[in-house]
Structure 1
């Protein structure tokens, strides 16, 4: 059985998925974006590990999951029309990361995977750091 973004339900993943599914149902918009960033980082790490072990099918699946998180999650949530220059810049960054992930997949290139991780990590850190302010504003 598969789950969102293609992760299979093994006994090990089943418990984790309960937490993810609960977070999706009960999470605030801020928490949902944080989950997307976490899922992206997890997918890139899985791709790097699979590549290092020569598991090319697993590498491809993990990269595909990372691309879907960028395209169907992070990028799809942008309001490019009303979001100003920041939204445009994020869209362009997400397009670039998608391109580099695709190249990493085609070339089996761990350095490109690291580049993608390094590009998204500051966004993830900034997003997590504003969590307390967002929670306070929702009260």
Structure 2
């Protein structure tokens, strides 16, 4: 790795960390969706290249992010919406595990579509709204 690559990676980490510190709860959820969608796309690329180790690592990271989204649900105030999202997140996690085991990129596409739909709805919510 060149010194420039190391410096760029370090700058990126500082930039991400400062973005997290300055972000509202609404923006943090958006960032989680963005991270999950990015990891799913990267995992699909690794899968198509037959890079088994990277595919597994990226799917694992995406699952952890989705579990974070799942853990952020407010079961008390979120009602039926929170329960439905919990079921969708559970489905996405199980489908990603299946995609990893069976090497099926179309299953990753399905997971990405579901999360993108939820993210799109979340993006339309005003920043001042309470977290679900």
TM-score for both structures, normalised by structure 1:
0.83
Which runs of 5 or more residues in structure 1 are unaligned? 1-8
Match of 1:66 among 62, 75, 84: 62
Instruction: Tell me the equivalent position of 2:127.
Output: 134
Deviation at 1:112, TM superposition (A): 0.5
* CA distance in 2: counterparts of 1:56 and 1:99, whole angstroms: 18
- Secondary structure in 1 matching 2:127: helix
Measure how far apart 1:40 and its partner are: 0.3
Size of the aligned set, in residue pairs, is: 126
Point out which structure has higher relative CO (alpha carbons under 8 A, 6+ apart): 2
Q: Which position in structure 1 is the counterpart of 2:109?
A: 114
CA contact (8 A) 1:23 1:32 kept: no
Distance in 2, matches of 1:10 and 1:65, equals 22
1:31 maps to which of 27, 42, 46: 27
CA shift for structure 1 position 11:
5.0
How does 1:1-139 map onto structure 2 within 5 Å? 11-71=7-67, 73-130=68-125, 133-134=126-127
> Over residues 66-114 of structure 1, what are the superposed CA-to-partner deviations in whole Å (9 max), with x where a residue is unaligned?
000011x100000123310000000000000000000011111101000
RMSD: 2.0
